[in-house]
Chains A and B, each alone.
Chain A
Amino acid sequence: MNKLTIFGICIVGFFLIIAVFAPMIAPYNPGQIDIDNILTPPSGQHIFGTDSLGRDLFSRMVYGTRISLMVGFIAVGIAALIGVALGAIAGYYGGWLDAFIMRFIDIMLCFPTFFLILAVIALLEPSIINIMVIIGATSWMGIARLMRAEILSLKERDFIYAEKAIGAGSSRIIIKHLIPNAMAPVLVSITLGVAGAILVESSLSFLGIGVQPPTPSWGNILSEGKAVMGAGWWMMIFPGLAIFITVLGYNLLGEGIREKLLK
């Protein structure tokens, strides 16, 4: 296995552990305000320093890992459900249904995704659930196209004809045979999608329309960091590094899966 892939797996595993064991890892309560220790630089007591309310930055980032990863996973899960379902239907049935779904994908791809997400959030409240659903609902098109292309070639294979010959129904063929065999490229897309969703969530939270304080997310901590620019470098460097390393990890893992499965 490629060294970079192993590195990616380590990063992904490391942040997963932090997210799962957040309460045990965080030394302080992430919401604990301490007026006497406002914006203190990293020290033995607060290894990442404190923010403008005296809260421990390290603890906030540990809990932020939970939020950022959860948004990433669920958003991509939603995108995968929509993409796999629509792609499989378009590829298997063909005809007008295929034409309709493909046109719909073309139309969705015309919108600058970030604009569409912002517009919808402007109309709904920026709750975590809404953010996950909106990111998922605007990022399924690539998965659908991959799924359709795979199914188009798979459905002409002998084992599918054999299934049909023994009288299997369409839904059985699609769910039990076509989708599992077509998952390899989709899996790559899902892994890369987690990275993308984490980036989108942190951008939204940074702009103040994503995860709302006091709930910590890497993006909204950075946005507080922007407000104290020049007075607290640690507020800007650590959350940014966390986003960067996590996204890097999922990208490396995705490329690793691509090399393993598709070559």
Chain B
Amino acid sequence: MGKYIFKRAIGLTVLLLGITIITFSVIHIAPGKPTDLQAQFNPKVSMEARERIAHLYGLDKPLYVQYIEWLKRFARLDFGISFMDSRPVMQKILERIPITLTIELFSMAFILLIGIPIGVTSAVKEGSFYDKAMTIFVFVGFAVPTFWLSLILMDFIGVRWGILPISGIKSLEFEKFGFLEKIIDLSRHLILPVLVSTFGGLAGISRYMRSSMLSVLKQDYIRTARAKGLAEKDILYKHALKNALLPVVTILGLSVPGLIGGSVIFESIFSIPGMGRLFYESVMARDYPVIMGVLVIGAILTLLGNLLADISYAAVDPRIKLDDRI
């Protein structure tokens, strides 16, 4: 275990360094200096702000010196100061992360609760009408653009029928509410975003669960279980399901970047003050320090998601020897 953690730590350090190098190169992709671009596109950026970014990235120094200085700041989680409101970038990001994570965790839970049963039952009834209907549902799920789905839900449920609020996470009179009313108000605001985010991830998990279950059902030990006369229910839900569930853990880890990336779309449509919306607003205002900060933090969250998936995979599957990995 110790050897595994050591190897893993080295691997993570390499990835983390890579992430910073790519993020650092992104800011240098623009022709000329980033400060030129700013003034050109954004009249809000003052001379003072230009000097600040020039200082943040040390733009007058050689590239490698710039990178090392930026890295030193990064190690202290200092991403500089936002152009828009002169607040520290890290503070702005930390305010937004809980909102995005709450929505993601809820939709992740729904994706699992709905997607796994769909996948398992389709595999068990392979070729049936139900399986075919679910296959079509999955294809539809893959193809519906989340922003379109959000717009339609917003138009019908929010604007036409007035059933649910369509923007923000709380009502104007939120502060006057009692505790229970506050909870109800928050959840009413979160229903549509969680619904959209869940729908986006559902197709992938149920399809994956189906093929995982199908391949397990073809294994020898399932035939053995059948041969010794076990009840079909026990074979499916005790022997097969447990093994079929394992790879789903990895897929969950891999779906983190997609979920975080998707947050830009529905958070900006539903005006939810999460990380995605912060990122979108910063992109529109060309607020470079915030853009770079969110980019790095988003990548680190993904890294943590994958790490968590790997560790839990190793924890639940005794066949995996930690030392063999990486």
Contacts and interface: CB of A to CB of B under 8 A. Distances in A.
Contacts of B284: 208-209
B27 A110 contact: no
Interface stretch (B83-91, B226-234, B260-268, B315-323): B260-268
Given A110-B303, A120-B29, A124-B29, A195 B151 contact: no
Chain A contact residues: helix, strand, loop or mixed: helix
Contacts of B65: none
Nearest to B259: A112
Contacts of B29: 120, 123-124
A226 B148 CA distance: 10
Contacts of A251: 139, 142-143
B147 A206 contact: yes
Contacts of A122: 282-283, 286, 288, 291
B151 A236 contact: yes
Contacts of B168: none
Contact of B155 (A123, A233, A248): A233
A243 interface: yes
B145 interface: yes
A247 interface: yes
Most buried by A among B26, B34, B142: B142
A114 B295 contact: no
A236 B269 CA distance: 14
A62 interface: no
A244 interface: yes
Interface in B58-99: none
B5 interface: no
Contacts, number: 141
A112 B258 contact: yes
B39 interface: no
B257 A120 contact: no
Nearest to A237: B152
Interface string B241-280: 0000000000000000110111011001100000000011
B18 A104 contact: yes
A207 interface: yes
Contact of B283 (A121, A225, A248): A121
A119 interface: yes
A180 B299 CA distance: 35
Chain B contact residues: helix, strand, loop or mixed: helix
Interface string A172-190: 0000000000000000000
A130 to B, nearest CB: 10
Contacts of A203: 145-147, 265
Given A115-B298, A120-B26, A207-B265, A110 B257 contact: yes
A11 to B, nearest CB: 10
Contacts of B14: 103
Contacts of A233: 155
Nearest to B285: A122
A229 B156 CA distance: 10
A240 interface: yes
A106 interface: yes
Contacts of B22: 107-108, 111
Nearest to B287: A122
A230 B159 contact: yes
Contacts of A108: 22
Contact of A111 (B19, B262, B283): B19
A244 B30 contact: no
Given A124-B29, A207-B280, A115 B295 contact: yes
Contacts of B257: 109-113
Nearest to B149: A240
Contacts of B30: 123-124
Most buried by B among A118, A226, A230, A244: A118
- Counting from the closest, the 8 A-B pairs by CB-CB distance are A114-B261, A107-B18, A112-B261, A240-B148, A248-B143, A123-B30, A247-B143, A112-B257
Interface of A: 4, 103-104, 106-116, 118-124, 195, 199, 202-203, 206-209, 222, 225-226, 229-230, 233, 236-237, 240, 243-245, 247-248, 251-252
9 contacts: A107-B22, A114-B262, A115-B261, A123-B37, A206-B145, A222-B151, A226-B269, A236-B152, A251-B142
